[in-house]
């Protein structure tokens, strides 16, 4: 009985370590884990703004974003890989602006051109709908 209890305790510890480390992996800040590809421009308590540059063939490890807005400075072909391994190929055109929900993914430049993206991450539940409207 004591042996079974020790085995269950060991299994529990392994499970906690495994689940905890995988959750940590998925919650990583891409600016911190890949600073050569991500140039931080501004960070406040409400927003983080950075430029992401992906050379052809470059990959960003699994990372997370809160709700965010992207502006494509230069376009190309990118692949987004979800936590479930599902791949989504995107043709990204320069000048496009997109609002995106919170996401955890890896990214890869699968094209033959450099892709540059301005990323604006909204922190602390900040939402553009809460911002005051421009007065005429």
Task: Report how many domains make up the chain.
Answer: 1
User: Which domain CATH number covers 118?
Assistant: 2.60.120.10
Q: Is residue 118 part of a domain?
A: yes
Q: Is residue 68 part of a domain?
A: yes
Verdict on whether the full-model pTM lies above 0.95: no
Q: Is residue 8 part of a domain?
A: no
Instruction: Tell me which residue of 31, 101, 20 sits closest to 66, measured CA to CA.
Output: 101
Q: Which domain holds residue 77?
A: 29-125
Residue pLDDT tens, the chain, 136 long:
667 565 555 444 443 343 333 433 445 888 888 889 999 999 999 999 999 999 999 999 999 999 999 999 999 999 999 999 999 999 999 999 999 999 999 999 999 999 999 999 998 766 555 555 555 5
Q: Is residue 59 part of a domain?
A: yes
Which run of H or of E encompasses 97? strand 97-100
Q: Is residue 5 part of a domain?
A: no
Q: Is residue 114 part of a domain?
A: yes
Q: Is residue 79 part of a domain?
A: yes
The separation between CA 34 and the C-alpha centre of its own chain, rounded to angstroms, equals 11
Q: Is residue 16 part of a domain?
A: no
Helices (H) and strands (E) in the chain, counts: 2, 9
And the tokens for 14?
């392994």
């Amino acid at each position: 009985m004591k042996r079974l209890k020790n085995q269950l305790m060991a299994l529990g510890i392994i499970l906690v370590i495994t689940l905890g480390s995988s959750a940590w992996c998925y919650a990583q800040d891409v600016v911190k884990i890949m600073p050569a590809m991500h140039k931080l421009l501004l960070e406040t308590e409400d927003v983080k703004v950075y430029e992401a540059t992906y050379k052809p063939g470059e990959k960003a490890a699994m990372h997370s974003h809160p709700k965010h807005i992207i502006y494509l400075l230069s376009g190309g072909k990118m692949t987004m890989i979800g936590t479930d391994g599902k791949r989504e190929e995107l043709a990204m055109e320069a000048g496009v602006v997109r609002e995106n929900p919170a996401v955890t993914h890896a990214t890869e430049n699968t094209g033959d051109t450099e892709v540059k993206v301005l990323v604006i991450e909204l922190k602390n539940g900040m939402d553009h709908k809460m911002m005051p409207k421009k007065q005429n």
